[in-house]
Structures are given as structure tokens and as C-alpha cells.
Structure 1
Amino acid sequence: MKTTFISLLLFCFFSVSYAQNRAAIKGRVTDSVSKQPLELSTVAMVDVKDSSLIAYTLSKKTGDFELQRLPAETRVKLVISYAGYKSYIRQFNFKKGEVMDIGNISLNSKMLSEVVVRAERVPVKMKKDTIEFDAAAFKTRPNAALEELLKKLPGVQIDGDGTITVNGKDVSKLLIDGKQFFGNDPKIATKNLDAEIVAQVQVYDDRENDPDHLISDTKVPKIINIKLKKAIKRSIFGKVFAGAGSRDRYETGGLFNMFRDTLQLSLIGLSNNLNHTGFSNQEIYSEGGFDRSGGSTSFNGRPSWASNWGGIEKITSGGFNLNQNYGKKLKLNLQYFYSQRNNINNSSNFQQQFLKDTTLLSANTNNRNSNSHSHTATALVEWEPDTVRHLRFSPSLSFSGNDNTASSTGNTRNNFNMPVNTSVGNNFGNGSSTQYRQNFYFHKRSRKHKGESFNISNNLQINPGENTSFNNSDVVNYQHANLSDSLHRRSSRTTNNVSGNIDLSYRYPITKKLTVDITTSNSYNKSSDQLFTYDRKTNTFDSLLVNQSSDLKRDQWTENIKPGITYQLGKNTQIIAGLNTQWQQIENNFVSSRLSQNYFFLLPTLRFETDRLSISYDRGVNQPGISSLQPVTIVYSPLYTFTGNPNLKPTINNNYNISYRLYTTQSQVSLWAYGGVYKQENLSINQQTIRSDGSQTVTVVNRDGRPSYSLNVGFNKRFRKMKDWQIFFSTSLNGSYNQNLNLLNNVEGWQNTFNRGIYQNVYFDWKEKATLNIGAGYNIGDTKYKYDDFRIVHTGNFNLNNNLVLRPIRRLVWETKQDFYYNTQIAPGLKKGVNVISTSIALLMLKKDRGELKFTVYDVFDQNVSIYRYTGTNSITDTQNNTLNRYFLVTYSIKFNKLSTK
């Protein structure tokens, strides 16, 4: 809390001092003929010296506007624009504390001669629901990446991991001239394209799959469209880099782009053993090039998100992205990616399992080496024959294969210091899978009736796969000799899943306020899972284990008919309600039996929303997995037995949500809040029996759950440039309360977990020569077990991440990054604190700084570890994984850019 308090003091200090030396201007925008106010006129203030944008706002319904906290004693220029009208432009030089009222500004088709004598570029425009920024109004350094330009746009925030938000909303896509650029990963473009080729940046809502605006405004993500300079008829640009270092660390890659009018072709390739899983992660910051440990490893102490098993990963991948326009009506996108990964993971964990007066203490080590490869090809066809019809078709095909080897050791003792069991195991296997997916969407709106529309959508997925594994394990039980065993088994598994659906929807406006709609959908899901397990009795695996083999098949048909209404209470206020009637017919086929199920559900939905607030309720249903329904008992090992339950019922989900968003263009303040209540009926829960010898049996039963709650609140403030300073302030709070039912040893007990946390970030920039980003977070978790002992488990961790970038002289960049994580509750013998400090020095060279020689030291003090703690069914587990440690790396990169205006 100390960090937050200091940040609040800094915020108040800068706010007060900032306001005392600032000026303000206000006025009203109207039509020169009708005298009616022009709502949503763009009012911008720019610096006369370099034409950079200082502030902007949109006029209100009355046409009134006001710009506050403007620089004093500096020549500035006011630009007022509205689509279809000539812009109003006038220069000012405010005094400190001055508030100027310029009265009524009338816009018409002619320039006001007393104001300007020539047309000038407008830094920001509002076109219907699209905000368009002129890139020339935001000055960037030579050879700056697109990310640097976006950071300067009002309302745009880019986090350390490259995640982009606009006015507090996530950015789902980044397009180049309206075309996809390597799928939906904006970071590939922001990290590697140059800012100098950009003419305008457009921001608008992502309504591609929601043309009828059925999704709440508070939940719709944004799309950023990068419009390239018109003069660039043909261009070839990209980058290549290569680096080598200690401990055999290396990285290499390249990006090549060729644009030819309506054709865009991009090639990409990389290889490294630095836990980098994608090209966009190569430059997590514009100059430093850190994140050598795989993203969040050193930040939160957990294994790399990019690698499912943590550890150290080597990746080689490459592919291409092709866009081609055929006229203005037809667009084609084609992508291909190849990826090959090798992951080495060594982990150890310590678990405490509490059983009344007995506590089982288990220590395990696991070593795994996995290899995988995949080929993925996707296409996108978009056709808009006119202004009322839109068709989108996207097929994809992928092939993947994997092989892995693993070994493990474990031992368990109890709190009386008596040995319980030991185990040694190793396994290896390989598998492959194929997946075909297609998505079809067609939307047609009426020319005659505003609000009338018709939609067709179809999804199809086919996913066959096979896997073979060999498992060997030796278990010694010191308390019951009959539970000791030596197992040698081979398992062959074949799966095939097919799912498809077709949805039809129609909307019709009854009145200006009331719209009715009806949606009908039909879906079919077919799944099969064949598992044959053999025991080795002689030298071959020739003994079929019936109780560990299965042949599961499921056919499920689902029909939905959902009528609904939308009632407009006001311009930005509406109520949306629907009642989904759902029929399900399911055929479950096991080896020796069949289970037929028929269900009918009424699933209501209700939502009230304004442009800032959304309150909703929805009810859904989930079927239990077929493996949980099989009426057999499977003995996986002497220590673990599972029994299916054919009497399981579907789980009913009830969701209550509230969300609020506020962004003020004038003050560049963003505020958001999300809250939710989640409750389940007939929840499928594991019923466990864990004995003092360490063996356990598990089955699945239905129980009603208790409500769980979540809340997330955030605030950020971006100060306008104060001479040479740029400041950004951000705070977020989160909390959750989950109630989970545990069934352990014939005792029903609730596991109630209360988590809460705060994260604070402050960003300072001085003349783009010194940048400091300070972030700190504190998270607390309390878990209470309502069993016989009413145990309480407390966890708390603190993290601090700082990043400092200095450009002391021309072409020299020095960066230092710190990630600190501390958890006092980690088990004895494991490291409680992780402090990773990395630094780099980069020398820019060649024309326009297109070359860079960089020397990086990752984890200067060689302290990095990957460690975390979590709670389970009356248990606590601490886990530690291997991760990247200190290494030195020298990398050279060069950007090339050949532009042609011919």
C-alpha cells in the first residue's frame, strides 16, 4: 500500500502544479445556414512549432466544447472540423490561467477568410463511429516502430507485453489498409513496422460479427486500421536480425514485406532458444529486447505461459501472409505457418495433504523433454457486392505431431515422520492430429426498413487424432504391501471429433423503439475415444487390460429457438431480452452398454445497457464429459482408481454481470469497473477418498454450488505534455470470492477463497531521452477450509517491475529492466524471492538508424527461478521449474525500406 500512497501523492502534486500554469478555451459549433448545433464536431489544439497534437475533444449535443489545461505562453492552433464542412483554424497565445470564450463558431462550405488563407491538415477527425488520427501530428524519432506512434495517440495504451487498449477497451485486431496482417496478433505489426510509412490511424468498434449491434458497447473491442501513405505505390520493407551469446543462447529471424497496390505479401521466420514463442516477442520494448525468460516467468514466478510445461524452449517457425483485393468488393487473405518446438522441463513440487489428524507430505521431481511440430494454413474470403450484403468465409487446415519422454520420482511420508510410499516412473510416446475448421457468415440488411436484417452462420470442425504411449512405474507402499507393484504398459488412443452448426436469425423493427428478433440454430456433435491398454507379461505387450480400456462414442443433437426483443428507452439506453428454448438428444455408447438422454431447457437472457453501463443475466447448460459417465471402474495404478457415474445431470450456469466504462476525451481519464456473480446447479464434483497410505479413489457426483463473486476496477490518467515531460498514471484493483465444494473422505466441506490485489503503474518520459516505467502490485489470498479442522491458508506476494531507458547521446541507448517477486509463504527449501535485473546497451548505426548492435545481459545477478504456490482439496502445493538464468547476448539487426512513388 505504501507504493500506492506515494503514487497518489505524485498524482495530486502533478495535478495541482499542472493546473496552475495552464489555460482553457471554450465555445460552440453550429451550422452557418440552419444555425443548428453540430454534435460530435472535432475540436483539436496543436502546437504551431511542430504541428503535434496537444489535446482534442468532441462537441456536445448542444455544440458546446471546452479544452482545459492548455499550455500557456506558447503559440498554439485551434482546428475545428466536421464531416462535409470546411475546417475552422485559428492561432492563440494564452496567458497563464486564462480562460477564453470564443463564442459561436459557424461552419460552412467556404473557408472563413478572416481566419486562414490556406487549407491545412486536420490532426484528428470523427467520421461516424471512426476516429482518425493524422500520423504527421504525432512526431516520432527516426526509424521509430509503429508502437511508438500508437503510444502517442490520445486514449491509446500499450502494456509491457504489447497488449493494446484504446479508451480502456482491448484491441482485437490491427489491420494494414483494411487487411489482416498475420492473423489477429497486433504485436507483429506494432513491433516491426516503421511509423514513417503511416498516413492515418483509424480506430473503430469491432462489429464484424455483430452488425446489428447486439453486443454491449461496454464489451465491444476495438480495431486499429493503419492507413499507409498514398504516395507509396510500391514498397519493400522489413528487418533481419541475428544474435549469439553464452550458454549456447542464440536468436535469428527476419520479416519481409512487399506491397504492390492491392497486393500485400509478408514473409516471416525465426529461431531461438530464449523462450520466445512468436516474432512479436523479439522486441518487448522498442530498444532493450528483454523478455528473455519467456514473458511472465520472472514477473509472477510462474512458468512461461507460452510453454505449457514451463522450462526452456527452443522454437523455429516461419510462414507467410498474403492479401489480395479484386476490385472493391472481393478481398482474399491466405496465411501459412510452420512451427517446431523443443521443450525441456525439470520441476519439483512439495504437497501437504491434510486428512484430519494425518498430514501426507509428498515430494516429487519430474523431468520432461517434448518435441512438437505443426503446419497451419488459413484463408479468409470477404465479399461485399453492395452496401447491404456482406459474406465472410474462413477455412483452416492444420497438421501437428509430437513426441515426448518423461521420468519422475516421488516419496510420501506423514506428519509422524513415517514413510508411506515411494514411486519411480518413466514414459515416452508420440502422437499426431489433423484439424479442419470452417466459419461462414452472411449478413443482409433491408434497404426499405431500417433495422431489418437477416443472418446465416455456419461452423464446422473435424479433428481426428491418435497417440501411443509407453508407461513404466514402480510403486513401493510401506504400509500395505499389496499396494506395491511394478507396471509396464502400452496405450493406444484414437480420437475423432466432428461438430457443426447452422444458425439463422431475423430482426424486424415494429416501431422506432421496439425491435423483435428470432434465432434458430441446429448443431450436431459426434465424438469417439478408443483407448486400448496392454500389459507386458513377457517381452511384448500382449495382455489387454479390459478395466483400463474404453470405447466411448457420443452423438448429440441440439436445437434452439430463441425469440427476443430490443426496446429503446433512449438514444443510448435499451433493454434486450430473450428466451432460448433448447432441446438436446444424446446417445452415449460404452463398451457394453448404452445411455440415452433427452433434455429440454428454458434459458432466459436479459440485459440493460447505456453507452457506459451494462447489467446482464444469462442462463446456460453444460453436459458432463462422456468419460465421467462410463459405468466402469478404472485402476490406473495401485495408488489411483476412478469410477464413472452414469447418473450425472447437466450443469446449469447462472451468470450475473455488471460493467461500467467512462472515458473523457478532454481530460484523458479512463475509468472502468467489472463485477460478476456466478452460480452453478448440479455441478460435477470429484468425490475423493484419500487414505493414510497415499492411495485414492475418485468418482464424480452432482452437487449444487454456491455463488462466486468477482470485481475489477481500474483508473488511468494521461497528462498532457508539460513542456518536455509526458506522464501517465494507472491503478487497478481486483478481487474475487470463490466457494468450492470438496468431497473428501465422506466429509462435505467448503473451500472458500478470497483473493484481492492492487497494481499501480506510473510512466515518465523526458524529451524521449529518458523513460521510466514503474509498476508495483500486491496480491493476497486467504483460503478457509470448512472441514473438521477449519484450516486457514494465507498467501501473499509482492511484485515490482521497473524499466528505465536512457538515450544520453545520439545513437546510444541504455536500458535496464527489473522484475522482482516475493512470497513469504513458499515452503522451506524453496526460494521466496526472485529478483531479475537485466541490462542492455545498443548502438544505432547506418542511415536513419536502421542498423543496431546490441549487447544484452539477462539476469545480471543470476537469481531467476520459476516458483509458485496454489491450494487444492484441503491441500497446499509448492512447485519450482527450471528456467532461463544469466546469459550474455550480442545481437545485430538491420531494417530495410525501399519505397517507390512511381
Structure 2
Amino acid sequence: MKKAITITRAMLCLFLLTCGAAFAQNPARISVKGIVIDSSSTTLPSATIMLLTPKDSALVSYGRTENDGQFEIKGVKRGTYLLKISYMGYLPYQQEFTPAEGGVTDLGKIQLKPIMKELYEVVVRTAKAPLSIKGDTVEYNAASFKVPPGSTVEDLLRKLPGMSVDQDGNIKAQGQDVKRVTVDGKQFFGGDTKMATKNLSAEAIKKVQVFNDKTEQAKATGIDDGKKEKTMNLELKDEFKKGGFGKVTAGIGDKERMEVKGNYNKFDQKNQFSLIGLGNNTNQVGMGFDDFQDFRGSQSFNWNDNADFGFGGGGRYYYFGGDEGDEDLSIPVGGGRGQGLTDSYAAGLNYNYDTKKNKLSSSYYFNGKNQILDALSSRQNFLNNNASFNTTNNDYTRNQSYNHRVSFRLEKMVDSLNTFTFVGNGKLSKGNTRYDGLQQFFTGNNELSNQTTINNRTGFSSSAAALTGIYRHKFKKKGRIFAASGGYNFTNSDGDATQISLNEFYKITSTNDLLRNINQFNSTLSDRNQWKASLLYVEPFGKKFSSETFYNFSTRNSIVDRNVKNNESNLQIDSLTRYFENTISYNRVGTSLRYNYKGINISAGVAGQQFSLRGNFTQPKKPETIVDQKYFIWLGNVQGSLDLKNNRYMWFGYEPNVSEPSIKDLQPVVDNSNPLYIREGNPDLLPQVDHNFNVGGNYYNPGSFMSIYFGMNYNYHVNQIIYNQNIDSKTFKTTTKPMNITGGDNVGTYFGLGFPLKKTKATLNLNGNVNASKNLTYINDILNNTNNLSYYAGLRLDLTPSDKFTFYGNANFGITNTKYSINTAQNQTIYNHRFGAEMNVKFPKDFYFNSRLNYNVFINERFGFNQRQPIWNAAVYKQLGKSKKAEIRLTAYDILNRNLNISQFANQNYYSESRTETLARYFMLSFTYNMRGVKNQMRRSGGGW
């Protein structure tokens, strides 16, 4: 028996040794290497190397040759592969092979042949590679990356190596934000990168190309400014260029929830027409990105339309408003499901015409909403000497608004040297608001001091327009350019408000009767007009230097006529009635010198800017107040970039920003909408100057698809406009008045790292930042420094092993330490953590499952605030029909019934937290029909309709 056991042990050991030897000779994973040369035995650096499966040409792994032509792809499972090599100017090479014994398979020298004319047809018929790398351009063959039927371009991008898309639809390529998305080389879908990616069908895409493009200003002037914009071009399949596409969705749910939306698009080489509509009571406020993206059109926005030439210019030319109401002329886009309870409806149409010499974009858009907000909030206010008081608010607000918007942009190229651009935007708005609130004030001992009951009603109507014209002339000398622009903007608004409030005081007996009981009616007329002009001249000096000289002019006139009367006596309240007229003008002239040679691009400039502020304030039974002030400011500017080759890039810069005071802050008008929080303007305000410094860099390895980026920003504020607060220790009435102060600043650092854990299957992205800021304000004439130090770290994991299963997970950790100089006992730490996961699963017979979970954590131990909020949505859907143009979907929103809008915030001299009731758990059954590549029978040769 012992002998048998001994023999058995010996045989087992021999078997294990044999298996070990065999495993050592043939490990499960291998490396494939070789060297790429041409017919003259010259090595070819940066050639694209790919390993494909022979059966379906699916991409397994990839890389690039080194400077000596050598390559090595590691960690590949043992099996038969198709090796494919591509290099510009040479015939694609492909070879099927089975790995040799051992851990390394050396394919030796691989010779590529140059493309001859007679070989062109061979090249055309060669199997398409999943991706190719040419310099800084990466081109993906969309057919090689499988996604489920009905997927959008966004779903396709998540499968592409070196690409990442977060849950909000923001795109990163090679570690950098994608600034522009084009379709067939044209911006048919506007300037927002989410427009095309969320709505276009993945099956419409033939190729995805990613590259570094020049800025629009560099293209227009011919002078390279050293700035690069990561750009993505989507090349459509031929069948999608010949007709229309779009989709219609209708859904009905429990709790009387319903939604309907649809869009239709049709374009050829010259024309684009888009029609869109939506209506819902599911908190889908305004137009979602996935609907808006194919609405605006290629010419609706252009970076070079800014009418303020030169550095340190104003904001976008089409934005005009903010003081007397929301006068933003752009179309509101809010794809998320907002807070409160909101009914929304919208409709719009868009037409674009694009030829070599004429580019037209025009649109009309209407939207309306009815929103109810029921919120509970609390706030602790810190005073000097460690004193404090608390407030709680129970607010009910109902908003109704209606907006009509029109826009057009026409660019006409007279000839190769002269171009005119005309841009116009207009808006008509009407709305009303009902606000009912109960505000309670408590002493530091938590005793009720006073409370205010508020019942306010407001109504408004407004109109606004912005018109801009730009002329550009290119001289025959390359780089020499002259440009001129002019613009006119206006806003008119008419508002009425009824303000009723009752203030009850429990700690004091003597107060002003007006403070105790307010019953007022006020009407306000506001008119504002602005004229702008700008000139630019660019002169090159040789191949390395050029100068840019510019002049800007702007004058803005504003009139506010406010009348307030007592509702009970119908008598005018002189102390609150005002007439205000203000004119702000500035002239700015400057020049800069640029050096550009071998990847080094540096510019330095200086400008002088003169402000003129003139205004008069009239109040009944009081003398007129006149303001007449002039300021002169020197502005410097330095910008630089270094192209270190091999996809390494660094930049630095200094740029000041000057902003004049707003009309609300300048006019000495008392705003008593909240009788215990009074706002008053200051006609003596100076312009605010912000000094901005930045430095950063990024690196991208196209072979491994690893990306690294980092940077730092610093801002220092001079004459910063802050709000001085005086708080009555008995009534807790707060009076604020804007003033200038110097010394506030903030500094921020950031970094990011992304790399594939397994090429084409798993990608990990890490990022983080550290920010510190000092905010200054006066509280009862004592200067308070609020110092915030925040830390943020995040990671995202994308798993895309096949078209049957995908998983996207993310974790974001945020910590903010807040310290106060006048009340150190209230120093606190706020934690805001967010975790998310999304999973997609394909089942047999075209059934699909989607699940998304967001888990939010809000903690502030100083005030005992600890909220953990899981929001879980899930859907099951089925594709219908042979062509899978239809879909039926059952969706469950907020399955755990935990949706509540929560926020917490600490700054200056207070900490606040709020909870707003919003749409919670409900179920929705929806049907979608997707039109894809409808054949256009009316099309004739020549590209017309």
C-alpha cells in the first residue's frame, strides 16, 4: 500500500512538472513585437499598430512604433490574430499569425510599400482599420466599435479608446475638453459640444476624427495665436446625407405625469432645416441638450463674432441684461430635471443655408413654464464678538413665464479678401410671480425674536435686441488684416409689484410703523441702450513677429423710473420713489506684439482704458443728485504657449479684467421687497479690476492613450465690489450697500490622469483640485475675512467589454473648510460627496435594461447636518421592427422615493441650508419612433432641394 502511494505521488509530481514546463513554454498571455521598415530598410516611426480578431476584425489592442521603428504589444491573450499596420503614404499591411511558443512572438522586420497610382484601387478596397493615428489626428472607424441599436453618438464615444464622456455629457479626448464638434466639417449643430453627440444616432456615423484645431480668430487673421482647441468631426454615412432624420417620443405615467417631444432634421450640402417641440409636467425645464443640439445650426454661433477686438474685451456680444431682469437673448437650455414642480412647453424652427460664400442661420423659438417651488431653508448669521442669530424661511413661489426669441446670422464672403457678418437676436417676454413666505428670526439662544409674513405679487413684460455688424479685410500680404465692428443693443421692461408684509416683534415694543406693516404698489419702467464700435489692425513682421493694434468704444444709457404708493391711502411714498438716468462710456486703445516660431508663441501688450460715469438721481421733494466721474486704467496682457512636440504642451498668461458697476449697485434706490433685508445702491462705486494669472500643461501618449493635464489659476481683486452689511441687533434688520475693497483673492490648482486599464475594454480617469479663497466684507463696520479651503478628488471607471454590457462608475469627494476672522467659533467643515453608477445590459430578442444610481452625501458636523440621498432610476425597453426604428420603454424614476433638492453653503458671515420639494417617485411608459436616413426622392444632382 505504501509503495502504491509512493508511485502515485511520483506520478502526480511528474504531471505537475510537465504542466508547469508546458505553461512556462506557452503562457496564457504573450507579447508581440517587430520592427517596421520601408523598401530601403529605413525605419518608420509612429506607424499605427493594431491587433484584430480575424473573424470580425474587432480591435484587441493597439500601439505605435518608436523612433527606431520598433513596437511591442504586451499582455495579449494567446490566440490567432490579424496584425494591421498603417502609415501615411504607404500601403496598409496586414498579416494573420499564430503566436509561437514562449511568452514573446517576434515578427521580425515588416516592410511597407509606398502607394503608387496603379495601387490606388487596392488601397481603396483594403479592409478598414478600426483606428489610425496621423500626427495629432486620431481617426476611428465607427463600424469597428459595436453599440446597441438606437444608441447615440455619445454612447459610441464611450467605446472609443482615448475618449471619455461624463454623466452630464461633457466630452474629453486625449485628456482635454472637446471645444467644438462638427458634422462633415461643418458646424451644423452649433457651438455646444453636446448638441450633436446626444441626439445623432450612432449608426449614422462613418468616422470620428479628433484633432487640435486653431481658434476661429487665428483662422480669420492668419496669425497663429498658439491656442489649440480640441475638435471632433463626425463624418456621416452617405445614406444619412440624402434625407431627413429625427424622432418622436410620447409617454404617460402615474400621478398624471406625461411628456411628448419630437424633432425632425433634414439637410444636404447646402441646407439644414430643423423643427422641434416638447411638452411635459416632469420637470424637464426648457429644451434639453439632446433636443437643442440639432436645432441651432452651424452658423448660429461663432467664436469670432465678438464685436470687442483686442485682449481683455467684454463678454459675448449677444448677452445684454442682468440688471433689470433676465434679458439673456440666447435660448435657455436645461436638460436636467429641475427642482420644484414644473410644467414646460416649447416649440421652435431653424433654417441654415451654407455655401462657400454665403452662410445663413435663422431661428424662432417659444417656451413657457409654470413652476411651483415649496422650500424650507435655514441660515445662521455670524456677528462680531461671537454673537449670532438664526433665520428660517418657509417659502411658496409660483412662477409663470412666456418667451419668444428670434435670431439670425449672415456671413457673406464678397471675395477672398473681404467678408461681412451680420448678427441679430431678439426676445419678447412676459410673466408673473406669486410669493408667499414666513420668515422667522431667532436669537443666539434660539428664542423667537420676530417674524415676517410676506404676500408679494409681481408681473412684467420686456423686450430686448442685440444687433452686430463685422467687416473683415485680408490684405494680399499674408497675415495683414483690418477689421471693424459696430453694434446696437437695447432692453425695455415694464414691471408692477404688490408688496404686502406683516412684521411682528416679540423682543421690542418701539418700531417704525412702516416696518411693521407694508402694503405697497410699485411700478418700474426700465430702458437701456448701448452703442459699440471696434477697430483692429494686424501687421506681420517677417515670419516670426506680428503686431495687433485695436480700439474699442462703448456708451450705454440706462433709465429707471420707479413709482411707489401706499395701497390703502393711494398716496405716493416719496422716500421710495426714484427717477434714475445713467450713462457709462469707455474708450480703449492698445497694442500687442507676438512672437511665433518653432512651437513658441508669446504675445505681450498694453492698453489704456478710460471710463466715464455720468448720472442723475431724482427723488420727490429732494434736490437732484448728480454723478460725474472719470477713471483711467492701464491694462497689461501676456499670453504664451509652448508646443514641446510629441503631444506635450504648456501655456501661461496674465490678463486683467475690468468691469463697471451694475445699474442696481449704482442707483441709490431702496429695495424693500423683503422689509428685513434692505438693499441700497452707491453712486460712488469704482470699476472693479481682476488680475488673472494662469499656467498649465498637458501630455498625451497616442500609443498607450494615456493623458495627463495640470494647471494653476490665481486671481487678485482690486476695487472689488462687495456688500457692506449693517445688522440691527434688536430687529435683525439687515441693510446692505455695495462698496469697493481691495485684497480679496483666490488660487486654484487642478490635475487629471487618464489611461486604459485594458485597451478597448476598461478606462480609468482620475482628477482633483485644491482651491483657496479670501473673501472680504464689512459687518457692522468691522472687516470680516472669510477664508475657504476646498479639496476635491474624483475618479471615473468606464467598462465597455462588449455591446451587451457597459458600466460607468464615478466617485467624487469634496471637502470645504471655512474660517471667519470675526467669529472663529463658527468655523466649520462641509462635506459634499457624490457617487454614481450606470449600467446597460442587452438581453435576447432585443430587450435592454438601463439602471442609474446617484448617491449624494451632505455633511456639516458643526450644525448637525447629515443627509444621504440615493436617487435610483431604471428602465427596461425593447427595440421593435426589422430596422429597429421603434422603441417601447418602461422607466421608473426615483425608485427609492428620496428625491429632494438639498443644498448647503458657507461664505462671508453665514451658513445656509435648504430643502426644496421636487418631483419624486413615478413611473413612465413611453413609445419612440426614430426616423433614420429617410431616402429623399426629391433630391436632384447638384445638391439642391
Q: CA deviation at 1:429?
A: 1.5
The Cα shift of 1:255 comes to 1.6
Matched, 1:271 2:279: yes
Question: Per-residue displacement from partner, 1:309-341 (whole Å, max 9, x unpaired)?
Answer: 831222111212222234x32222222221111
The answer for the alignment partner of 2:248 in structure 1 is 240
Between the aligned partners of 1:48 and 1:242, the Cα distance in structure 2 is 43
3-state secondary structure, aligned to 2:843: coil
Instruction: Give the corresponding residue for 1:687.
Output: 724
Query: Does the C-alpha gap of structure 1 residues 94 and 516 become closer, same or farther in structure 2, counting only changes over 3 Å?
Result: farther
Q: Letter of the 1:702 partner, please give it.
A: N
Taking the aligned partners of 2:652 and 2:92, their CA distance within structure 1 comes to 41
Please report how far the alpha carbon of residue 804 of structure 1 lies from its aligned counterpart in structure 2 after TM superposition.
1.8
- Counterparts of residues 815-830 of structure 1 (less than 5 Å): 815-825=850-860
- The match for 1:199 is 206
Change (3 A) 1:221 1:682: same
Deviations for 1:389-425, whole angstroms, at most 9, x for unmatched residues?
5544332222222111110001112123432111101
Give deviations 1:405-462, integer Å, cap 9, x for gaps: 110001112123432111101111211222212344444444443x333333444422
2:403 equivalent in structure 1: 374
Q: Aligned partner of 1:770: which letter?
A: F
1:527 aligned partner: 558
- Residue 603 of structure 1: which of 632, 635, 646 is its match? 635
CA contact (8 A) 2:361 2:408 kept: yes
Q: Is the 8 A contact 1:628 1:644 kept in 2?
A: yes
Over the matched positions of the two proteins, sequence identity in percent amounts to 24
* 8 Å contact from structure 1 (residues 198, 226) kept in 2: yes
Say yes or no: does 1:646 pair with 2:673.
no
What residue is the counterpart of 2:652 in the other structure? 615
Q: How many Å separate the matches in 2 of 1:441 and 1:516?
A: 21
Partner of 1:7: none
RMSD of aligned alpha carbons: 3.4
Note closer, same or farther for the CA distance 1:565–1:63 as it changes in structure 2 (3 Å cut).
farther
Corresponding letter in the other structure for 2:919: L
- Give the 5 Å matches for 1:369-408: 369-384=398-413, 389-408=418-437
SS state at 2:169 partner: coil
- Structure 1 residue 719: deviation in Å? 4.5
TM-score w.r.t. length of structure 2: 0.83
CA displacement at 1:49 relative to structure 2: 3.7
State the distance in 2 between where 1:472 and 1:69 align. Answer: 75
Per-residue deviation at 1:781?
A: 0.7
Deviation string 1:461-483 (CA, Å, 9 cap, x unpaired) is: 22222211111101112233314
Partner of 2:811: 776
Which one of the candidate residues 766, 773, 795 is aligned to 2:801? 766
Matched to 1:582, the amino acid is Q
Please report how far the alpha carbon of residue 755 of structure 1 lies from its aligned counterpart in structure 2 after TM superposition: 0.8
Instruction: Show the counterpart of 1:454.
Output: 482
- C-alpha spacing 1:634/1:886, structure 2 compared with 1 (3 Å): closer
Pair 1:593 & 2:625 matched: yes
- What is the correspondence of 1:489-504 to structure 2 with a 5 Å cutoff? 489-504=520-535
Q: 1:439 to 1:88 in 2, by over 3 A?
A: farther
1:144 alignment partner, SS class:
coil
Shift in CA distance, 278/642, structure 1 to aligned 2, threshold 3 Å: closer
Post-superposition offset of 1:173: 3.9
Secondary structure of the corresponding residue to residue 883 of structure 2:
helix
For residues 340 and 560 of structure 1, what CA distance do their matches in structure 2 show?
Answer: 41
Amino acid at match of 2:754: N
Q: Does 1:162 align with 2:131?
A: no
The answer to whether the 8 A contact 1:23-1:69 is kept is: yes
SS of residue paired to 1:277: coil
In 1: Cα distance, 2:578 partner to 2:183 partner: 50
Q: Which amino acid aligns with 2:549?
A: I
Aligned to 1:287: none
Judged with a 3 Å threshold, the aligned counterparts in structure 2 of structure 1 residues 215 and 99 are, in CA distance, closer, same or farther, namely farther
1:80 to 83, 86, 97: 86
**Cα distance in structure 2, aligned partners of 1:358 and 1:314:** 44
Select which of 752, 777, 780 maps to 1:714: 752
Is the Cα–Cα contact under 8 Å of residues 387 and 823 in structure 2 kept in the other structure? no
TM-score, structure 1 as length reference = 0.86
Distance 1:566 1:43, change over 3 A: farther
Q: Which SS does the other structure have where 1:548 is aligned?
A: coil
- For 1:670, the equivalent position in structure 2 comes to 707
2:494 matched to 1:466?
A: yes
The answer as to 2:351 corresponding to 1:340 is no
The correspondence of residues 8-19 of structure 1 with structure 2, limited to 5 A, is: none
Counterpart-to-counterpart distance in 2, 1:635 and 1:262: 55
Match of 2:505 in 1: 477
Q: Which residue matches 1:262?
A: 270
Residue deviations 1:858-892 (CA, integer Å, cap 9, x gap): 12221221111111332211111111211111111
Q: Is residue 545 of structure 2 the alignment partner of residue 536 of structure 1?
A: no
Q: Report 1:826-845 matches (<5 A).
A: 832-845=867-880
> Which residue is 2:36 aligned to?
27
Q: SS at the partner of 2:160?
A: coil
**Where do residues 548-567 of structure 1 align in structure 2 (5 Å cutoff)?**
548-567=576-595
Contact kept in structure 2, 1:67 and 1:666, CA below 8 Å: no
Residues 63 and 235 (structure 1), Cα distance of their counterparts in 2 relative to 1, 3 Å cut = farther
Rg larger in structure: 2
In 2, distance between residues paired with 1:94 and 1:438? 67
Q: Which of 142, 148, 157 matches 1:135? A: 142
Aligned to 2:646: none
Instruction: Letter of the 2:744 partner, please give it.
Output: R
Q: How far off is 1:186 after superposition?
A: 4.1
Q: Does the 8 Å contact 1:556/1:587 carry over to 2? A: yes
The answer (yes or no) to whether the contact 2:199–2:290 under 8 Å persists in 1 is: no
**Distance in 1 between residues matched to 2:291 and 2:890, nearest whole Å:** 14
Q: Residues 532 and 548 of structure 1 are in contact (CA less than 8 Å); yes or no, is this contact kept in structure 2?
A: yes
Q: 1:120 to 1:803 in 2, by over 3 A?
A: closer
Contact kept? 2:724, 2:737, Cα under 8 Å: yes
Q: Residue deviations 1:711-753, cap 9 Å, x none?
A: 121111134546xxx1011111022111011211222121101
Q: One-letter code of the match for 1:593?
A: T
2: CA distance, partners of 1:115 / 1:456:
52
SS in 2 for 1:546: coil
CA contact (8 A) 2:159 2:800 kept: no
Equivalent residue for 1:15? none
Report the CA distance between 1:579 and its aligned residue: 0.5
Structure-2 change in CA distance of 1:110 and 1:58 (3 Å) = farther
User: Following the alignment from structure 1 to structure 2, what is the Cα–Cα distance between the partners of residues 633 and 181?
Assistant: 48
Compared with structure 1, are the counterparts of its residues 139 and 255 closer, same or farther at alpha carbon in structure 2 (3 Å cutoff)?
A: same
| Structure 2: gaps of 5 or more residues | 1-26, 293-332, 619-623, 644-648, 938-945
Report the CA distance shift for 1:127/1:443 in structure 2 as closer, same or farther (over 3 A). Answer: farther
* CA distances 1:29-48 after superposition (whole Å, capped 9, x unpaired): 79x8xx99999876666555
Q: 1:577 aligns with which of 591, 601, 604?
A: 604
Structure 1 stretch displaced more, 269-278 or 742-751: 269-278
Q: CA 1:901 to 1:266, structure 2 compared with 1: closer, same or farther past 3 Å?
A: closer
Q: 1:513 — aligned with what?
A: 544
- Give matches, 1:306-325, under 5 Å: 310-325=339-354
Select the residue among 448, 451, 457 that pairs with 1:419.
448
Task: Tell me the alpha carbon deviations over residues 809-829 of structure 1, each in whole angstroms, 9 at most, x when there is no partner.
Answer: 231112222111122327979
What are the superposed Cα offsets for residues 686-723 of structure 1, whole Å, 9 maximum, x if unpaired?
2212122211222233221233111121111134546x
How far the C-alpha of 1:546 sits from its partner, in A, is 2.6
Find the aligned partners of 1:156 and 1:456 in 2 and give their Cα distance.
Answer: 40
CA distance in 2, matches of 1:151, 1:470: 53
Amino acid paired to 1:410: Q
C-alpha distance 199-387 of structure 1, shift in aligned 2 (>3 A): farther
Shift, 1:629, TM fit: 3.4
Partner of 1:885: 920
SS in 2 for 1:810: coil
| Matching residue's letter, 1:88 | P
5+ residue gaps, structure 1: 1-17, 285-303
